[in-house]
Amino acid sequence: VGMTAPTLSAMRGASFKDKLAVLEATTPDGSIPNEPGALKPRYDDLKKSLCVDALVAGCPDAFVDFYYLCTSGDGVGDDNLTADEMERALINPDDYEEFEEVPMDKMPFVKDALVAAESALRGDASGGPNDDPAVAVQDAYGALAEYFLGTDDRAKAAYFYDKCVAAAVAARRPELEMAACARVGKTHEAA
């Protein structure tokens, strides 16, 4: 009787590296299938596991943001319309905007940053070098904004910089608010 690799949902709490090793071990010859939707079950297992991790951490807002960032449709990219579907729906292909989704290898970073921001918003001490919750929120949301700027997704970057502004206002920290507003402005200006 052969041993089977555990499912990602059974590995709740395991590191992303361990989960990725399971994905690679269950893919024959280490190759990734090229047919559309071939990785959907594995991708969905990873999304589900990370979503549950955010909830277990007590961060429902992080869960919601993570879910929407990683599931534009079903989260695989195969939810974009084909040329035939656009024609039937009378959609001009030049006006159609394809879904942008977070790649599998970046999902843990996104989830961790969202959880860190929400935990800091509640005032939970990080135990790290920066125990100031207001600054920790700015750092977490700022890291997400920088990531999305790096992917050339200015709308998502501006969204997270806006969250920086809202958190700074709520914390009554004008110096953080001023810096966050400047980053929002620069992001919109660059668009």
Q: How confident is the model at residue 144 (pLDDT cuts 50, 70, 90)?
A: very high
Q: Are 181 and 151 in contact (CB under 8 A)?
A: no
pLDDT digits (tens, 9 = 90+) for 11-64: 555 555 565 565 555 555 544 444 445 555 677 788 889 999 999 999 999 999
Q: How confident is the model at residue 84 (pLDDT cuts 50, 70, 90)?
A: confident
Per-residue model confidence (pLDDT) at position 119? 93
Q: How confident is the model at residue 124 (pLDDT cuts 50, 70, 90)?
A: confident
Distance, C-alpha 182 to centroid of its chain: 24
H helix count then E strand count, the chain: 8, 0
Per-residue model confidence (pLDDT) at position 74? 45
Q: Report, as an integer, the average pLDDT of 167-171.
A: 94
Per-residue model confidence (pLDDT) at position 93? 66
pLDDT at 167 over 80: yes
pLDDT at 112 over 50: yes
Rounded CA separation 33/180 (Å): 43
Per-residue model confidence (pLDDT) at position 42? 72
Does the model's pTM come out above 0.85?
A: no
Rounded CA separation 184/176 (Å): 12
Tell me how crowded residue 19 is: count the other CB atoms within 10 A of its CB: 23
Per-residue model confidence (pLDDT) at position 151? 87
pLDDT at 179 over 90: yes
- In the block, residue with structure tokens 């990683």: 70
* Average pLDDT over the chain, rounded to an integer: 76
Q: Are 120 and 58 in contact (CB under 8 A)?
A: no
Per-residue model confidence (pLDDT) at position 130? 57
| Percentage of residues in the chain having pLDDT higher than 90 | 41
DSSP state letter for 9: G
Residues in the chain: 191
Per-residue model confidence (pLDDT) at position 160? 95
Q: How confident is the model at residue 79 (pLDDT cuts 50, 70, 90)?
A: low
